[in-house]
Structure 1
Amino acid sequence: MTTQAPETKIVESFRIACDGGDGALGHPRVWLQIPLETGFVECPYCDAKYVQAGFEGKV
């Protein structure tokens, strides 16, 4: 059995919310701040990677 790679999402904002999606199969909603230095943040629950649109292709 293989593990799927975490999802990468391109977002416009530097502050985003993640609930894991999938309704009841998700996780508690958490608010994440994308650092201006790195341009991305990873969700501590589902490992989804959020990349700010200005950093797309640079991360």
Structure 2
Amino acid sequence: MTLHAPETKIVDKMRIACDGGEGALGHPRVWLQIPETQGWVECPYCDCKYIHSDFEGKV
């Protein structure tokens, strides 16, 4: 079995929504807050990592 690395997305806002992006096969929509000192957050359902554009290349 092959495991795929979690997806990483660069975003422009500190508060973002994640629903898994797979329509009916996704997960419930959750709102995530990116800590201003950390610059990134991971979705607790799909492990997608959201990085704020100000921190791109730094994390």
What's the TM-score bracket when you normalise by the shorter of the two chains? Answer: over 0.9
Other-structure match for 1:26: 26
In structure 1, list runs of 5 or more residues that go unmatched: none
- TM (norm. structure 1) is 0.99
Q: Distance in 2 between matches of 1:13 and 1:39?
A: 10
Q: Runs of at least 4 residues of structure 1 off by over 3 A?
A: none
- TM (norm. structure 2) is 0.99
Shift of residue 35, structure 1, vs aligned partner: 0.1
Percent identity of the aligned residues? 75
In structure 2, list runs of 5 or more residues that go unmatched: none
Shift of residue 2, structure 1, vs aligned partner: 1.2
